[in-house]
Amino acid sequence: MRIAVVAPSCRLTEEAAEAVRAIVARRGDCELVVHPQSFLSDGHFAGPDEVRLAALREVMADPSFDAVWFARGGYGSNRIAEAAMTDLPSTARGKLYLGYSDAGFLHAGFHTAGLDVAWGPMPQDVLRDGGEVAVHRALDWIVRRDPAALEPALEGPSMAFNLTVLSNLLGTPLEPDFSGVDLLIEDIGEHLYRIDRSMFHVTASPAIRKVRRIRLGRVADVLPNDPAFACDETAIVESWCRRSGIQFGGRADIGHDARNRVVPFPARND
């Protein structure tokens, strides 16, 4: 089991890479290859678009890798996602692509292109409080599809997205087919009025109205609202579900934290 790490958004820190390498060495059940691109820096990004794209396409095409693990989120994978899903080599199939947050742009496009993607912890998470557990959870899923890594209440086909990322990919060529899926959402570092606005946008989308239901993960580090917003994130999401006729499926065990669980996207039948 060979796993490639690349950084389509922001750069991986050396400290995180060392910690993950040490975990992998102790496990002894897989080989980790951190692409040098992961450590590049170009303003906000882990290298210029062309360099991030080239590294991503290189590991996608390499038949020796069984999985591609996105190093971290941040922002930037949307800038290369459409090019990354174009003219796919056959060797890009049969691999698992794992990550979350900004990687949702890739998840959406790659799922649309017929690749095998999953929401789950990333290498940079090792530096979070309790992050070693999150890295083991991701590796348990990558290496042996351990059901204990999964979000515990998954029922049928599911997808997971950061709400703000989801809002920003609707209507783009990355938009996947949401028909009949349980849609798990979470967010971090937003004001509640922005959560409300994103829910307005997302639940008004005809594509999103095809979901079976929406489940809400954690909404962390909410920024202050002045005056107070008057209701919490659960009430916001329930309210927009009710207004749009989408079933609300309760809370979900995903978020920007060490407890974040794995959500494999549905297998494609085509």
Residues in contact with a copy of itself by the rule CB under 8 A: 41-44, 75-76, 78-79, 167-173, 192-193, 196-198, 200-201, 204-207, 225, 227-231
Nearer to a copy of itself, 200 or 248 (CB): 200
CB of 50: closest distance to a copy of itself in angstroms?
13
CB-count burial class (<10 Å; 0-12, 13-18, 19+) for 168:
middle
CB of 22: closest distance to a copy of itself in angstroms?
27
Nearer to a copy of itself, 228 or 267 (CB): 228
Nearer to a copy of itself, 172 or 234 (CB): 172
What residues does 263 pair with on adjacent strands? Answer: 119
Nearer to a copy of itself, 25 or 230 (CB): 230
CB of 243: closest distance to a copy of itself in angstroms?
9
Measured distance CA(190)–CA(147) in Å, rounded: 32
Nearer to a copy of itself, 21 or 79 (CB): 79
Nearer to a copy of itself, 237 or 252 (CB): 237
CB of 101: closest distance to a copy of itself in angstroms?
13
CB of 32: closest distance to a copy of itself in angstroms?
26
CB 96 within 8 A of CB 119: no
| Strand, helix or coil for residue 48 | coil
CB of 12: closest distance to a copy of itself in angstroms?
14
CB of 135: closest distance to a copy of itself in angstroms?
24
Residue type, 24: V
Measured distance CA(28)–CA(25) in Å, rounded: 5
Run of H or E including 116: strand 116-119
| Interior/surface letters 197-234, b for 16+ CB within 10 angstroms, e for the rest | ebbebbbebeebeebbbbbbbbbeebeeeeeebeeebe
- Cis before 36 (ω within 30): no
For 123, which DSSP code? Answer: G
Measured distance CA(242)–CA(236) in Å, rounded: 10
Nearer to a copy of itself, 109 or 264 (CB): 109
CB of 227: closest distance to a copy of itself in angstroms?
6
CB 159 within 8 A of CB 49: no
Nearer to a copy of itself, 80 or 138 (CB): 80
Distances (CA, A) of 159 to 62, 116, 213: 26, 12, 11
Measured distance CA(133)–CA(145) in Å, rounded: 16
